[in-house]
Amino acid sequence: MSEPRSAPTVGQVVLGKRLQDLRERAGLKREEAAKVLRVAPATIRRMETAEVALKIPYVQLLLKAYGITDSEAEGFIALAEEANLPGWWQRFHDVLPGWFSMYVSLEGAASLIRAYEPQFVPGLLQTEGYARAILRSGAVGGSDAEEIERHVALRMERQSLLTRDDAPKFWVIMDETVLRRPVGDGPEVMRDQLDRLLEASELPNVTLQIAEFASGHHPGTYGPFVLFRFAMPELPDMVYSEYLTGAVYLDARPEVASHLEVMDRMAAQAATAQRTKEILKDLRKEL
């Protein structure tokens, strides 16, 4: 039986979809592919949906059954071996829940990340002090000091994403509430956080907008969500929506389209990126 994983890497998701496409092009049903491996059809489904790691001997047999040439199969196998390597974030498996492992994998592979946040500064833009204060408040994980520091370290390491050579476009809309609600024991935490946001706003791949109180109700007030877009054609746009004890990942076109429309409407209604910088500077002066 193939070995289960707590969360697939993006590479496994992509190759799983490619395996499904190759099977369908070969005119084989899952039941027929399963006979090649002498496994249950559910195993084929789990491989194609990245619910399990890609066992190389299985992949080799399937590619042969699908009529793939030796040279093409060799390239596919190399990609499968690379996809099966653990992501850097798996060093934090002790504090990283499986439902968020997938998020970190998608985050690292996305070409565009659009986020709406009504409560907190997004993790990719948090300072250590702000992140630590949020975690201590019980918003994520427990109150154990060592565990909190592990969460902070993970969050800080994720932030290198925004300054790497192939950094994604990161477009964030935050409610004014995020900046008005004090975090930490003193003004220093929020002061440093505002400085961090101002620095991030100068990055060419980062766009920040604030949904001001004065602009009234907007269509995103149901809760936070993140929309991912990828350069890889095998991966559709995805929406991540988090709740208290887990998250859901949506890739159905109608659901993604609805979230995209809401995001566009909020962006049109929120303060412009330039106006947002002025708001941040004004709030900084108040502290």
Q: What is the pLDDT of residue 3?
A: 44
pTM for this model (two decimals)? 0.85
Q: What is the pLDDT of residue 273?
A: 97
Question: Average pLDDT of 113-138?
Answer: 94
Mapping DSSP onto H, E and C, the string for the chain reads CCCECCCCCHHHHHHHHHHHHHHHHCCCCHHHHHHHHCCCHHHHHHHHCCCECCCHHHHHHHHHHCCCCHHHHHHHHHHHHHHCCCCHHHHHCCCCCHHHHHHHHHHHHCCEEEEEECCCCCHHHCCHHHHHHHHHCCCCCCCCHHHHHHHHHHHHHHHHHHHCCCCCEEEEEEEHHHHHCCCCCCHHHHHHHHHHHHHHCCCCCEEEEEECHHHCCCCCCCCCEEEEECCCCCCCCEEEEEECCEEEEECCHHHHHHHHHHHHHHHHHCCCHHHHHHHHHHHHHHC
Which of 141-150, 175-184, 231-240, 249-258 is the least confident region? Answer: 141-150
What pLDDT digit, counting tens, does each position of 56-76 carry? 999 999 999 999 999 999 999
Confidence of residue 139 (pLDDT cuts 50, 70, 90): low
| pLDDT > 90 in the chain, percent | 69
What pLDDT digit, counting tens, does each position of 22-62 carry? 999 999 999 999 999 999 999 999 999 888 889 999 999 99
Alpha carbons 243 and 247: distance in angstroms, whole number: 6
Alpha carbons 238 and 218: distance in angstroms, whole number: 22
Q: What is the pLDDT of residue 1?
A: 41
What pLDDT digit, counting tens, does each position of 185-233 carry? 889 999 999 999 999 999 999 999 999 988 878 777 778 999 999 988 8
Question: Average pLDDT of 240-248?
Answer: 86
Confidence of residue 94 (pLDDT cuts 50, 70, 90): confident
